[in-house]
Amino acid sequence: MVEEGDLKQWRDAGRVARRTIEGIKGEITAGKSWDEVIDSAERFIKRHGGHAAFPVTISVNEMAAHYTTNTELEPPEGLEGEMVFQKGDLVKFDVGVHIKGAIADNALTVEVGGGGKHTDQIRAAEEARDAAIEKMHPGTPWHEIGAAAEQVSKDAGFEPIRNLCGHQLERWNLHAGTSIPSYSCGAKNPGFKGDVEVGGIYAVEPFNTTGKSGMVENVPPVGSSNILRVTGDVKIRKALAKGKLKPLGATMARYIEERYNTLPFAERWAYPLLVKPFPGEEKESLRRKWNALVKKLISIRFAEVYAALRDADGGNVGQFEHTVLVTEGGPEVLTIQ
């Protein structure tokens, strides 16, 4: 639970997150590359006094979440053509900001070109988020939050996605403890026990889909999101003493941990750190060294990787998200301008 004295940083992070998403969404236009928008958003965050709490992600059409570009600009598996927005694309744009570890997370969905092809789905995703937030008063069971979001999705003719959830936020911890359902999970579901708590901060993010099953699946291969995270479970000094890391590997691990703590980070952020100890190294050799380093850090459980997610049926996915502080009087949306 967040103390009153800490709230300024959380509110400031929320304002930067919202300004970013509102300031950059107009750049999602036909012919523009995904990477251009991601880079623009991450630079916007820095200019406005924040730090990215995770890599800005772009998820198009059946892609649901957790995709950011990598150094090589390699497209996710299954994508035909270049990573360039096309008229009619349904785009989820997800931005997180932290200020000294106080995190704000928000997302929205837009249709490239605004042709009206996805208007109903976009509206339903936004209204499902708002319906869930309206229920977030102290003592409300989590299953009622999910039921409120599902009702909106179903009424509009879409399926709620059942295996993607909202999440509690804590300082330096993007996915802390409580998960928030976006569907009618039932009062006895073991994954969503308990009630909304005063002082809790939560990312509320219902997803909907045109697919029939309401499920997402991992995009192969492992690490397809191009996003990694330090687990916080392994001490570098001990790993070095036990021979699990060589000196260079330990130095790189220390660089990464110092910069990102245990928040998710992009391959394209960390890869350039390898250039300094190997000036003049050929590109292919550097890439081999990077791949070997990541493999080692994962094998000793110092780091983990994420998969990009897509609708299991190939349906189009919509999403909206706000970060909410629960007060005695009810929900306070932190991701506001």
The helix or strand, by DSSP H or E, that contains position 35, with its residue range, turns out to be helix 34-47
Sequence-separated (6 or more) residues with CB below 8 Å from residue 296: 245, 249
Exposed, middle or buried: residue 48 (CB in 10 Å: 0-12, 13-18, 19+)? Answer: middle
Q: In what order do the strands lie in the sheet with 216-218?
A: 63-65, 309-311, 216-218
| Amino acid type, 99 | I
Distance CA 255, CA 77 (A): 30
Give the residue carrying structure tokens 């036990």. 242
Place of tokens 């992070």: 13
Cα dist. 55→48, 107, 108, 260, 314 in Å? 16, 13, 15, 11, 24
Overall size of the chain counted in residues = 337
Q: What is the 3-state secondary structure (H, E, C) of 81-94?
A: CCCECCCCCEEEEE
Catalytically annotated residues:
94, 105, 167, 175, 205, 321
| All residues at 6 or more sequence positions from 40 whose CB lies less than 8 Å from its CB, including other chains | 24, 27
- What's the CA gap between 289 and 249, in Å, rounded? 10
